[in-house]
Structure 1
């Protein structure tokens, strides 16, 4: 044990690698649009972004149009990139994402990308487990393809509250052995993704995940308890996407064993699962670097 709250076992994972290419800003056309259950899939004609993208990265959209009062961008994980196109899956929720999901083929939108650090690749041939929650599964499709190309057997677990909240099951099914779970039993097994993980961890060498923070914590702790490295793409609000506004900071343990607030949009969104102090997200831990200068004292 490390003795740090919210962690299980020793530190196993290294920081995610830096992106290979710098992001670009482009006004791009929506090439195709289709509803996918509770979500909307948008395919963008964005060759400059597509050729730079790596699995785990995201793009940031200007929303509302040129006369909108929505000043902050909306960050969405890249679900696929190739042949000059970038695919994203949008979950309509607030005004920005609802506006984005309403775009039609032929509309244009201002987008910056690719942003953030990608998933690290294991040694060629390493069996991998991919765990996606809701539309977070879309971010794992490109990773599954890259792992398969490197000779890795891939198992994917896709979970959601209900069948209409699942995403990218068919796409992952073309690349991996897929297990589906839903909270209400409306598709696949009834239960959580962690229920399905138990039968898989013994035959993989690395775990990747994308989805809600509670799920990421459970997946990371399960992987660490099994002695496996894990990498998670966190879902934090990324208002600027470029590390300026500091709204997406998380307490993350560095290679020196000390905790610092890391920006999800630049140091992430991919982090080693056992480095994120999930229990302290949204709080100011007493032992974070700089806490003493802010008057925080040890309990």
Structure 2
């Protein structure tokens, strides 16, 4: 459970608000959707999904990520993991639908590349605030059909990933995966529930973590008491029925925060 020291070997500016940090250790055993605890020395330790086997993709949203944006190649991070339950891997000849929003594309891109490598048929719906914030087009385009949406209409379709999803017959797909802002995923949840596709869908959740290994209980969800860090962060759609998903989350003190 001790962090492994890694050296940052490359930093890629993916968008105005997002960077990818490559390091000198590759986590080949990690499943798409699993996470690592990233220790930014002197600041904090935070959970991050692996966007490559040897990289994390970070959006500047708080003190820890702001500090990360000050790091340079040759600087060091501490990494614990990988932890948690990742996506169920698709099989050859299965039809796969991926729905990603914002930095949620980090986990989805790794899953798309794996799916293509085993012979799955991949369709991706990718959304972002604007064209500049669209992530990993170079990785997702070769994997199969790609539908793009932007909130402001600056690239391709103006609207949200759910606008494309409601026009999609999800019953045609064997597996459905989604990662992104929780309110986006809650809307995806509702559409899939209406279409009778919830059982074959998996959702990658984001919650406040302290330990990352299921001991402290900080990330427990109301309902069945599921621990997002240990029982997730990827959950089957049926596990989220009647849970706090899409209603509220908890901060460091444990107090509920409404979406």
Instruction: Identify the residue that residue 171 of structure 1 maps to in structure 2.
Output: 139
Are residues 248 and 166 of structure 1, via their aligned partners in 2, closer, same or farther at CA, if it must alter by over 3 Å?
farther
Instruction: Identify the residue that residue 248 of structure 1 maps to in structure 2.
Output: 219
Indicate if the aligned counterparts of 1:158 and 1:169 stay in contact, CA closer than 8 A.
Answer: no
Instruction: Identify the residue that residue 151 of structure 2 maps to in structure 1.
Output: 183
Residues 1-41 of structure 1 deviation map (CA, whole Å, 9 limit, x = unaligned):
xxxxxxxxxxxxxxxxxxxxxx7731001111011112011
| 101-110 or 218-227: bigger deviation | 218-227
Q: Which has the larger radius of gyration?
A: 1
Of the three residues 14, 20, 32, the one matched with 2:10 is 32
Q: Which has the higher contact order (CA 8 A, sep 6+)?
A: 1
1:131 and 2:103 aligned? no
Are residues 94 and 280 of structure 1, via their aligned partners in 2, closer, same or farther at CA, if it must alter by over 3 Å?
closer
Of the three residues 199, 202, 207, the one matched with 1:231 is 202
Are residues 204 and 246 of structure 1, via their aligned partners in 2, closer, same or farther at CA, if it must alter by over 3 Å?
same
Are residues 198 and 240 of structure 1, via their aligned partners in 2, closer, same or farther at CA, if it must alter by over 3 Å?
same
Mapped partners of 2:12, 2:230: distance in 1: 30
Q: 3-state SS of the aligned residue for 2:189?
A: helix
Q: Counterparts of 1:76-155 in structure 2 under 5 Å?
A: 76-81=48-53, 86-155=54-123
Mapped partners of 1:29, 1:268: distance in 2: 28
Q: Which consecutive residues of structure 2, in runs of 5 or more, have no partner in the other structure?
A: 251-259
Q: 3-state SS of the aligned residue for 1:274?
A: helix
Ranges of 4+ aligned residues in structure 1 off by more than 6 Å: none
Residues 90-149 of structure 1 deviation map (CA, whole Å, 9 limit, x = unaligned):
001111011123221111111112111110124431111101110111111121122112
Q: TM-score, normalised by structure 1?
A: 0.76
Q: TM-score, normalised by structure 2?
A: 0.87
Mapped partners of 1:282, 1:103: distance in 2: 30
Instruction: Identify the residue that residue 45 of structure 2 maps to in structure 1.
Output: 73
Are residues 188 and 274 of structure 1, via their aligned partners in 2, closer, same or farther at CA, if it must alter by over 3 Å?
farther
Mapped partners of 1:74, 1:280: distance in 2: 23
Of the three residues 8, 15, 39, the one matched with 1:62 is 39
Mapped partners of 2:55, 2:210: distance in 1: 21
Indicate if the aligned counterparts of 1:24 and 1:113 stay in contact, CA closer than 8 A.
Answer: no
Of the three residues 147, 150, 157, the one matched with 2:125 is 157
RMSD over equivalenced CA pairs, Å: 1.8
Aligned residue-pair number: 243
State the shift of 1:202 in Å.
Answer: 4.8
Indicate if the aligned counterparts of 2:113 and 2:139 stay in contact, CA closer than 8 A.
Answer: no
